[in-house]
């Protein structure tokens, strides 16, 4: 399940799938010159038919070494192994689980793979040596666990138990749950994208506290945040609360910001400007934003949805609607002078508050086919080719006039948008012994209010619209 295709090809076709080993290459290498050495050949070796012969050594210190024979020899049995140490030699080292495209031929998705590994880790303690080795190869768990340890030490968090050493399956980034703390390391999308995501989320929380929004009681409490830097073979943390520009970013990623002197230089308006630029960037820079939050009570909706009645679902939907309204009512941060987007399709008559939104929509429209194709085959090609037909030719037509209190036609202001309300970002707390959420015989009003309580998590994709 590791990213890349070479090791998958070797699993299916043996050494014939080794890249660069064409017939000509084999003829130029006499027997014994091409070998793979490994010291952990513990599983049963399998015999597969293939081109050329491959022989196994009897050395105890080197369980097996392989050599190509002349291609002119007749087909013979080749000794092959599915041992994890052997197959790991064919991994594409530049590929990363969290930033590379997931192979559509894998039987399960990335999140399911992580959840499967984590469940194996908890339920099969006798296999943890092998599971850890596999997790290191498939999802780089050794790297992310080292990051977790550095963050934990910096902020005096409790040490993870044996059951907590693997990341959870949900989400698109490495997320560890340690005691009552959730540690999220932002790896997806590159440094510019993830840094703006953290900066905007911190600005959003600051606004919630300033206006006294009731939403603050339905989202995770932030304990710590900052950047994790890897240099000279060592990880170190740089705490950051979103205010001011951290020096570490100027060193590794010299962002040219229109809002560098604002209170939140990587906040909403800077993120909108970054989205309009649409410039591609490499995601392999040695710095990652992180956030530590208090774990919310309850379980994610994805885990309990099949156990709820229709009445329960409607009740929870109503509770979710209340909190969504609280998100939309939150005022936008003050922007003294919003830069004009360099987009010919944005008209001078468009409201200034909407120009950045329209420019971003135009860019996404122009990139819609590539975006859908990158989903890994979940959208049929015939629909991808027709995607643009479903979008308006003028994106500004989506901005509608409304009547104000005096009956005049005015443009509304953009609202905050969570952008990622999915079943694994909604938590609900339920007490089964109290019966159904709508069972008034077994629950009082106070209990119903408690059972209806939900939490919304993961505000890293905040935008406006």
Query: Could you report the per-residue pLDDT of 327-346, keeping only the tens digit for each?
Result: 999 999 986 555 555 555 56
Render pLDDT for 113-135 as a digit per residue (tens, 0 to 9). 999 999 999 999 999 999 999 99
Name which of 302-316, 318-332, 374-388 the model is least confident about: 374-388
79 falls within a domain: yes
**Contact between 354 and 399 (Cβ < 8 Å):** yes
- Mean pLDDT over 44-62 rounds to 35
With a cut of 70, say whether residue 369 has pLDDT above it: yes
Q: Is residue 104 part of a domain?
A: no
Confidence (pTM): 0.78
Q: Is pLDDT of 152 > 80?
A: yes
Same domain for 459 and 328: yes
The verdict on 308 and 452 lying in the same domain is yes
Q: Which residues contact 230 (CB under 8 A, 6 or more apart)?
A: 286, 287
Is the same domain home to 306 and 439?
yes
Q: How far apart are CA 93 and CA 80, in angstroms?
A: 22
In a domain, 344, yes or no: yes
Identify the domain boundary among 185, 216, 247: 185
Domain that holds residue 415: 300-464
Percent of the chain with pLDDT over 70: 73
Question: What's the mean pLDDT in 238-264?
Answer: 78
Q: Higher model confidence: residue 442 or residue 280?
A: 280
How many other CB atoms are found less than 10 A from the CB of residue 110? 21
Ranking 161-175, 256-270, 276-290 by mean pLDDT, the lowest is: 276-290
- Residue 66 tokens read as 């392989």
Average pLDDT, the chain: 78
Same domain flag for 290 and 404: no
Q: How many angstroms separate the CA atoms of 166 and 160, rounded?
A: 10
List Cα–Cα distances, 462 to 193, 201, 202, 272, in angstroms.
Answer: 12, 7, 11, 10
Which pLDDT score, from 0 to 100, does residue 47 have? 32
Residue 99 inside a domain? The answer is no
Q: Are residues 177 and 229 in the same domain?
A: no
The answer to whether 316 and 437 have CB atoms below 8 angstroms apart is yes
Tell me the C-alpha to C-alpha distance, in Å, between residue 156 and each of 87, 120, 152, 241, 292: 39, 29, 6, 17, 12
Whether residues 198 and 179 fall in one domain = no
* Distance of alpha carbon 310 from alpha carbon 321, whole angstroms: 16
Count of domains observed in the chain = 4
Closest CA to 428 of 349, 268, 312: 312
Question: Quick one: 235 and 322 in the same domain?
Answer: no
């Amino acid at each position: 399940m590791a990213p890349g295709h070479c090791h998958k090809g070797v699993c299916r076709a043996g050494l014939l799938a080794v890249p660069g080993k064409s017939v000509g290459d084999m003829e130029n290498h006499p027997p014994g010159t091409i070998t793979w050495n490994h010291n952990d050949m513990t599983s049963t070796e399998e015999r597969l038919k293939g081109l050329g012969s491959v022989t196994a050594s009897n050395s105890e210190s080197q369980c097996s070494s392989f050599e190509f024979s002349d291609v002119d020899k007749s087909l013979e049995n080749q000794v092959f192994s599915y041992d994890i140490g052997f197959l790991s030699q064919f991994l594409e080292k530049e590929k990363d689980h969290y930033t590379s495209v997931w192979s559509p031929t894998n039987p399960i998705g990335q999140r399911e793979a992580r959840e499967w590994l984590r469940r194996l880790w908890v339920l099969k303690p006798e296999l943890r040596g092998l599971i850890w080795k596999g997790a290191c190869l498939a999802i780089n768990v050794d790297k992310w666990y080292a990051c977790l340890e550095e963050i934990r030490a910096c902020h005096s968090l409790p040490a993870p138990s044996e059951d907590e050493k693997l990341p959870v399956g949900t989400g698109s980034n490495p997320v560890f749950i340690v005691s009552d703390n959730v540690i999220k390391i932002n790896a997806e999308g590159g440094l510019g994208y993830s840094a703006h995501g953290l900066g905007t989320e911190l600005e959003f929380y600051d606004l919630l506290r300033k206006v006294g929004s009731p939403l603050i009681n339905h989202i995770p409490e932030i304990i710590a945040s900052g950047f994790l830097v890897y240099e000279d073979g060592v990880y170190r943390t740089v705490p950051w609360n979103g205010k001011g520009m951290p020096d570490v970013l100027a060193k590794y990623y010299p962002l040219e910001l229109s809002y560098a002197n604002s209170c939140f230089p990587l906040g909403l308006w800077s993120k909108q400007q970054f989205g309009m630029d649409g410039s591609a960037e490499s995601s392999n820079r040695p710095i990652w934003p992180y956030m530590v939050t208090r774990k919310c009570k309850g379980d994610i909706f994805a885990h309990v949805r099949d156990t709820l009645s229709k009445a329960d679902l409607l009740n929870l939907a109503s509770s979710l609607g209340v909190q969504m309204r609280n998100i939309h009512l939150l005022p936008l941060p003050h922007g003294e002078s919003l830069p004009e987007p360099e987009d010919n399709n944005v008209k001078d008559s468009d409201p200034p508050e909407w120009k950045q939104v329209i420019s971003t929509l135009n860019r996404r429209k122009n990139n819609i086919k590539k975006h859908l194709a990158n989903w890994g085959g979940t959208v049929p090609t015939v629909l991808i080719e027709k995607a643009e037909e479903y979008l308006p030719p003028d994106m500004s037509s989506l901005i509608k006039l409304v009547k104000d209190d005096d009956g005049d036609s005015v443009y509304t202001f953009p609202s905050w948008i969570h952008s990622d309300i999915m079943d694994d970002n909604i938590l609900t707390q339920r007490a089964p012994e109290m019966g159904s959420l709508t069972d008034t015989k077994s629950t009082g009003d106070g209990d119903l209010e408690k059972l209806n309580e939900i939490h919304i998590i993961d505000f890293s994709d905040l935008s406006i619209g």
